Amino acid sequence: MSKEYRVAVAGATGAVGRAMRSILAERDFPVKELVALATAKSAGMHLDYRGEEVICQELTPESFRGIDLALFSAGGGTSLKYAPMAREAGCVVVDNSSAWRMEPDVPLVVPEVNPDDVNWHKGIIANPNCSTIQMVVVMKPLHDEAKITRVVVSTYQAVSGTGAKAINELMQQTGRLLAGDAPEINVYPHQIAFNCLPQIDVFLEDGYTKEEQKMVDETKKIMGDNSIAVSATCVRVPVQNGHSEAINLQFARPLSVERARELLAEAPGVKVVDDPANKVYPMPIEASGQDDTYVGRIRRDPTAENALNLWVVADNLRKGAALNAVQIAELLVQRDLIRVPR
Ligand code: A2P
C-alpha cells in the first residue's frame, strides 16, 4: 500500500486555507489524517474536508507532534514563529507566507519551473508570492528558448489575495455605495470598491512597495538567473478573485509571436486564450476556480527589438497559493522527501 501522511493546514479557516483543504481533497493527496489549525477564536469550528467534518484546533507549539507535513497560510509572523517548531518536531513545512522565501537554505518552488529545488530542502519550502508564480510559469518556456533579459510588469490584483476580510470589505463597500451610504474602510488605506490602489503591502525607501520588490527578488531566485531585470508596479483592483498582469518581455534572441504561442501552448500549467478577433482573451472571472495560468494578447512590442507583450491571468488563491503549495507537496511525495533531513 502506498504511503499516507498526517497533514496539518495552519490557517485552515482563511481564504487560502479553505482552498488548501479543497485542493488536497480534489487531487486525492494521500492524507491519513487532516489537522485544521487556526487561532483560539476558531478552535471548535466545524470545517469541511472531503465532505466530512474536521474540528478546528488552536495552533500551539505542540500542534505538530506526529504531523508529517504542514501547509502554512496564517501570515508571516505565524510562519516565522511556528515553522521552525514544526521542523523541530520532524514535520516538513510548505509555507505560503513571505517569511522564509529569500532565505538561502529555503527552496522557493514553482513545480513547472524549478521542481528540482525541492531536493535540497531542510524542512521548510517556500511558496512564492501569487503575482510571481503566474508570471514565472509563463516566462519559463520563453526564457528557455530565447533568454529573457528584462521584464516590465503591471499587476491588477484581486482582493482575495489579502484574505477573507478583504473580500467582505469589497462586498460591504460596493453594497453601501450602491445604496447611497458611506463605505466603511478597514482593510486597505482607501476605499477599494470602484477604485484602484497603487499600493500592495508597505512602501520601501526607494519608492517601490514590498510586493513589487518580492516580484523582483523571487523571480530571480525561482528562475535561477540573477541577471533578469524586473520592473514591477503592483495595483489592487476591485476584483473578487483572479490576478491579471500586463507583461512586457525583452529577449536576448529573436522570438516570433507564432513560436511564443507554440511554446506556451505546450507549457505545463499554461493555457493560451488568444483570439482577439472574437474578443477572446483571459479574464479573472473565467480564471477564478481554475488551475491553469491563462495567457493571451500575445503580440510583438514594435518599440523594442526582440520584445513581446502578454496578458496573463490566474486564480491567485489556487495557482497563486494553495494549488502551488499542494503541487510542491505532491513533488515531495513522488520523491519521498516528506522527512526533515538531520
Ligand atoms: P482565524 O480565522 O482563527 O483568525 P485570511 O488570510 O483569509 O485572513 O486567513 C488567515 C488565516 O490564518 C486564518 O485561518 C486565521 O485564523 C489564521 N491565523 C492568523 N493568525 C494566526 C495565528 N497567530 N495563529 C494561528 N492562526 C492564525
The 10s digit of each residue's pLDDT in 209-241 is: 999 999 999 999 999 999 999 999 999 999 999
> How close is the Cα of 73 to the center of ligand 1, in Å?
8
| CATH number assigned to the domain comprising residue 153 | 3.30.360.10
339 located within any domain:
no
Closest CA to 298 of 142, 147, 143, 157: 142
Residues 247, 308: Cα–Cα separation, whole Å: 8
Substitution candidate for ligand 1 out of 9, 18, 37, 39 with most atoms within 8 A of CB: 39
pLDDT of residue 2: 82
> Given pLDDT bands bounded at 50, 70 and 90, which one contains residue 342?
confident
Residues 181 and 152 in one domain: yes
Which atom, in ligand 1's list, is nearest to the CA of 164?
Answer: 7
The 10s digit of each residue's pLDDT in 133-151 is: 999 999 999 999 999 999 9
273 located within any domain:
yes
116 located within any domain:
yes
Q: Which residues lie across from 55 on neighbouring strands? A: 46
Residues 268, 111: Cα–Cα separation, whole Å: 10
| CATH number assigned to the domain comprising residue 23 | 3.40.50.720
Query: Mean pLDDT, the chain, as a whole number?
Result: 98
342 located within any domain:
no
Share of the chain above pLDDT 90, in %: 99
Number of domains in the chain: 2
Where do we find the cell 529573436? 254
What mean pLDDT comes out for the span 114-121? Answer: 98
Residues 202 and 110 in one domain: no
Residues 41 and 162 in one domain: no
Domain that residue 95 falls in: 5-127+321-334
Q: Is 78 in the pocket of ligand 1 (CB under 6 A)?
A: yes
DSSP H helical ranges for 148-209: 164-178
169 located within any domain:
yes
Residues 170 and 232 in one domain: yes
Q: What predicted TM-score, i.e. pTM, was given to this entire model?
A: 0.97
Q: Is 57 in the pocket of ligand 1 (CB under 6 A)?
A: no
Residues 144 and 110 in one domain: no
| DSSP assignment letter at 198 | S
The answer on pLDDT for 1 being more than 90 is: no
Residues 111 and 140 in one domain: no
- The residues that are catalytic are 130, 243
Residues 140, 65: Cα–Cα separation, whole Å: 38
Q: Is 107 in the pocket of ligand 1 (CB under 6 A)?
A: no
45 located within any domain:
yes
Residues in contact with 11: Cβ distance below 8 Å, sequence separation at least 6, in sequence order: 17, 37, 38, 72, 73, 74, 75, 78, 96
Residues 192 and 239 in one domain: yes
Residues 244 and 137 in one domain: yes
pLDDT of residue 75: 96
Q: Is 161 in the pocket of ligand 1 (CB under 6 A)?
A: no
In the chain, the amino acid numbered 335 is R
> How close is the Cα of 58 to the center of ligand 1, in Å?
10
What mean pLDDT comes out for the span 47-65? Answer: 97
Burial of 46 (0-12, 13-18, 19+ CB in 10 A): exposed
Residues 181 and 285 in one domain: yes
pLDDT of residue 139: 98
341 located within any domain:
no
Residue pair 160/317 in contact (Cβ under 8 Å)? The answer is yes
Stated as kind and residue range, the H or E segment containing 46 is: strand 46-49
340 located within any domain:
no
Torsions phi, psi for 171 (to 5 deg): -65, -50
Q: How many residues does the chain have?
A: 342
Instruction: Calculate the alpha carbon distances from 57 to 7, 31, 95, 132, 228 in Å.
Output: 13, 18, 19, 32, 43
pLDDT of residue 311: 99
The 10s digit of each residue's pLDDT in 97-106 is: 999 999 999 9
Residues 302 and 199 in one domain: yes
Which atom, in ligand 1's list, is nearest to the CA of 17?
Answer: 14
The 10s digit of each residue's pLDDT in 239-268 is: 999 999 999 999 999 999 999 999 999 999
Residues 140, 218: Cα–Cα separation, whole Å: 14
Q: Is 81 in the pocket of ligand 1 (CB under 6 A)?
A: no
Residues 252 and 212 in one domain: yes
Residues 307 and 165 in one domain: yes
Residues in contact with 34: Cβ distance below 8 Å, sequence separation at least 6, in sequence order: 7, 8, 9, 21, 24, 49, 54
Stated as kind and residue range, the H or E segment containing 155 is: strand 148-157
